[in-house]
């Protein structure tokens, strides 16, 4: 690898890093705006035009607050907690392919932090490491509420990671590769997007992604009514800011991951036609780079949709109770994802990609039958 | 007693599979929230946009003059007695010869002060006044003050200006004309 390639690669990594931070920053603004609109309000609109400077004002406020460390806390672990959370959140976007490739001279450089053939495994490892940030922070606070929140977070993440992994195994079986780019490339044509071949897997994956990000309806670790502030009860100033920021980065990364795994990543319908038309009219190199840019924009459109979806769900669903959460994870999602793996495998034996639709059809039929056989709701006359 | 027909009977029958799956209910909930997303927001952007508060709003005090421009107040002190916050104080004086076009009766208020920090805008002074001299305007609020010495309003800021007389109109013709009329938009 010579110097120019290294330089371009470095620029790509810096840009991805910057974009990740920028999107996380403006997710806080978007969250408040979306929440407001869903509740018939207007949201922040005083700081700058349409309130666009609000995140900067919030960050400024965070910096000027007292940075407090409880006297009984384990000081270094207390500081390490938010750092770990932030570090793992930032690391995971490295393997996500944000675009096809940039061509110049004779080089072709993929728009991706690093292309490794175990990308999915890497993300899993980093996400599992993310639990440590919460656990260490909650334990080091020397506060029972923090510890309870941290334990909840840890057990929730571990439970849902299993279903998350199993739902993804079906995709890995179809692709035969752990590289995220290979998975994206395999979804080149519209009807081969994994959302169409793995509908059940998608629902399971999305649910588990919500749980992994500790977002509503699975935000039990920071459940205010029971646990004060959850694992970050004792945190203040920018350490608290790091925890909150890490949550938004995680949201961005999981949106990107869902788009890459199930919605074709940077692919869009008629992509090859557009690409070849651009290459014919503007020359092979410029045309290819512009086609890459379009794919990049399309991918971010998908990511923004999923970030919006995260917020949309947050202001729609109430929080699960803890036993409901565990029942859903262990008794529903894991058996379903195992069934999904088995059916996908059977389909692959006969070279039929859409086999998992069988589960969906059977489930719909069962729903109709059980709905028809259920006793009618009796109208009890109201007591006067 | 049935007040509306919107109440739903609670039943503890076993859930059907569709209800156990949550998904249909979740989709329904998402549809409801997204319909709110595009709904018109009822928010009024307060300092820029002000709402017409009605003809009975109790705002800035005014000491009325009569048709010939004479002050109506006779410094009887009933407003000060009625005031629950003890915000009003006055000094009475006797009308001299030659001041008949300034004060309507033989006695008048040489000093009439309202402490706007104390005032609770209850309107009892207006009710107590036998001469219809003090009113609380419906179209003007007491402006925000920064210093404590701005708080006590004397006669210079309370007595009516004859070129801009205050009339309480009950119809919506008179829209709110608070501090900055150019920014006002009636949102009734």
**Would you say residue A171 lies in a domain?**
yes
Torsion of CA B43, B47, B53, B55, to 10 degrees: -160
Task: Report chain A's mean pLDDT, rounded to a whole number.
Answer: 85
CA distance B23 to chain A (A): 10
Give the residue from A108, A106, A111, A124 showing the smallest Cα distance to A163: A124
Q: Does A313 touch chain B (CB under 8 A)?
A: yes
Q: Is B1 exposed, middle or buried (0-12, 13-18, 19+ CB in 10 A)?
A: exposed
A103 belongs to a structural domain: yes
Q: What pLDDT score was predicted for residue B153?
A: 92
User: Is A33 within the bounds of a domain?
Assistant: no
Greater confidence, B182 or B114? B114
CA distance A27 to A58: 12
Give the three-class secondary structure for B103.
strand
- Residue A41, domain member (yes or no): no
Range of the domain at A344: 58-372
Number of domains into which chain A is organized? 1
Judged by CB atoms closer than 8 Å, whether chains meet at A315 and B39 is answered as no
Per-residue pLDDT, averaged over A270-281, amounts to 82
Distance between first and last Cα of chain A: 84
Q: Name every chain A residue with its beta carbon within 8 A of the beta carbon of B42.
A: 40
Q: What is the ipTM of this complex?
A: 0.78
Contacts of A374 in chain B (CB under 8 A): 13-14, 16
Has residue A170 been placed in a domain? yes
Mapped onto helix, strand or coil, the DSSP state of residue B62 is strand
Phi and psi at B107, nearest 5°, equal: -115, 145
**pLDDT category, A377, cuts 50, 70, 90?**
low
Please answer yes or no on whether B41 and A382 come within 8 Å at the CB atom. no
* E-state strands within chain A: 101-104, 107-110
| A34 occurs within a structural domain | no
d(CA A161, CA A171): 16
B33-51 residues labelled b (16+ CB within 10 A) or e (exposed):
beeeeeeeeeeeeeeeebe
Q: Is residue A145 part of a domain?
A: yes
**Residue B174 confidence (pLDDT):** 46
HEC secondary structure over A219-282: CHHHCHHHHCCHHHCCCCHHHHHHHHHHHHHHHHHHHHHHHHHHCCCCCCCCHHHHHHHHHHHH
Lookup: tokens for B133: 């001299």
| A35 CB neighbour count, 10 Å cutoff | 15
Asked whether residue A327 is domain-assigned, the answer is: yes
For residues A260 and A92, give the distance between their C-alpha atoms in angstroms, rounded to a whole number. Answer: 13
- Residue B79's CB: how many other CB atoms inside 10 A? 25
pLDDT over 70 (residue B63): yes
Place of tokens 């399309």: A298
Q: How far is A189 from chain B (nearest CA, A)?
A: 28
CB B166 within 8 A of CB B126: no
Determine, for residues A41 and B26 on separate chains, whether the beta-carbon distance falls below 8 Å: no
| B 18-47 near A (Cβ less than 8 A) | 18, 21, 23, 26, 29-30, 32-34, 36-37, 39, 41-43, 45
Q: Which residue of A has its CA nearest to B48?
A: A46
Closest by CA to B136, choosing from B120, B147, B150, is B120
Please give the share of chain A, as a percent, with pLDDT higher than 90: 10
**A31 or A191, greater pLDDT:** A31
A1-10, A134-143, B158-167: which has the minimum mean pLDDT?
A: A1-10
The answer to whether A379 faces chain B, any CB pair under 8 Å, is yes
pLDDT in tens, B87-129: 999 999 999 888 888 898 899 999 999 999 999 999 899 889 8
Q: What's the distance, Cα to Cα, between the start and end of chain B in Å?
A: 36
Supply the pLDDT for residue B24.
Answer: 85
pLDDT (0 to 100) of residue A287: 83
Q: Which range among A95-109, B44-58, B134-148, B160-174 shows the weakest confidence by mean pLDDT? A: B160-174
């Amino acid at each position: 690898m010579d110097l120019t390639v290294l330089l371009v690669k470095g620029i790509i990594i810096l840009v991805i890093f910057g974009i990740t931070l920028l999107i996380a920053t403006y997710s806080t603004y978007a969250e408040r705006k979306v929440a407001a609109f869903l509740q018939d309000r207007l949201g922040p609109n005083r700081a700058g035009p349409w309130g666009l400077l609000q995140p900067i004002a919030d960050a400024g406020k965070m910096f000027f607050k007292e940075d407090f460390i409880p006297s009984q806390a384990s000081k270094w672990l207390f500081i390490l907690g938010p750092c770990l959370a932030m570090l793992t959140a930032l690391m995971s976007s490295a393997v996500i392919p944000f675009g096809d490739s940039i061509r110049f001279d004779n080089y072709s450089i993929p728009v991706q932090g690093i292309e490794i053939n175990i990308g999915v495994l890497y993300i899993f490892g980093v996400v599992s490491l993310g639990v440590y940030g919460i656990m260490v922070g909650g334990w080091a606070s020397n506060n029972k509420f923090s510890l309870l929140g941290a334990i909840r977070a840890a057990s929730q993440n571990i439970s849902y990671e299993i279903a998350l992994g199993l739902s993804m195994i079906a995709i890995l079986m179809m692709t035969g590769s752990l590289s995220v780019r290979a998975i994206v490339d395999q979804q080149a044509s519209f009807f081969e997007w994994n959302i169409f071949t793995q509908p059940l897997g998608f629902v399971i994956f999305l649910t588990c992604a919500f749980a992994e990000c500790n977002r509503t309806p699975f935000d039990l670790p920071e459940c205010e009514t029971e646990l004060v502030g959850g694992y970050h009860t004792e945190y203040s100033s920018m350490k608290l800011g790091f925890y909150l920021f890490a949550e938004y980065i995680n949201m961005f990364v999981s949106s990107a991951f869902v788009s890459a795994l199930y919605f074709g990543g940077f692919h869009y319908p008629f992509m090859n036609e557009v690409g070849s038309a651009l290459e014919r009219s503007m020359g092979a190199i410029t045309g290819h780079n512009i086609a890459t840019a379009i794919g990049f924009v399309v991918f971010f459109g998908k990511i923004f949709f999923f970030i919006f979806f995260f917020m949309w769900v947050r202001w729609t669903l109430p929080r699960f109770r803890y036993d409901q959460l565990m029942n859903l994870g262990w008794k529903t999602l894991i058996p379903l994802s195992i069934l999904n793996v088995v059916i996908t495998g059977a389909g692959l034996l006969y070279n039929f990609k859409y086999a998992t639709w069988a589960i969906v059809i059977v489930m719909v039929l069962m729903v109709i039958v059980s709905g028809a056989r259920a006793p009618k709701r009796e109208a009890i006359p109201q007591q006067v | 007693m049935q007040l509306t027909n919107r109440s739903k009977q609670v039943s503890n029958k076993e859930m059907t599979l569709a209800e156990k799956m949550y998904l249909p209910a979740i989709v329904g909930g998402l549809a409801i929230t997204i319909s709110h997303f595009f709904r018109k927001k009822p928010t009024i952007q307060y300092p820029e946009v002000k709402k017409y508060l009605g003809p009975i709003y109790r705002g800035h005090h005014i000491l009325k003059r009569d048709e010939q421009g004479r002050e109506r107040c006779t410094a009887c002190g009933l407003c000060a007695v009625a005031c629950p916050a003890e915000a009003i104080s006055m000094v009475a004086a006797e009308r001299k010869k030659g001041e008949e076009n300034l004060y309507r009766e033989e006695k008048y208020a040489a000093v009439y002060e309202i402490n706007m920090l104390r005032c609770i805008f209850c309107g009892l002074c207006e009710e107590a006044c036998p001469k219809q001299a003090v009113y609380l305007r419906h179209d003007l609020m007491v402006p925000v003050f920064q210093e404590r010495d701005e708080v006590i309003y004397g006669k210079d800021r309370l007595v009516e200006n004859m070129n801009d007389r205050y009339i309480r109109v009950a119809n919506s013709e008179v829209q709110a004309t608070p501090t900055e009329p150019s920014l006002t938009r009636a949102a009734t």
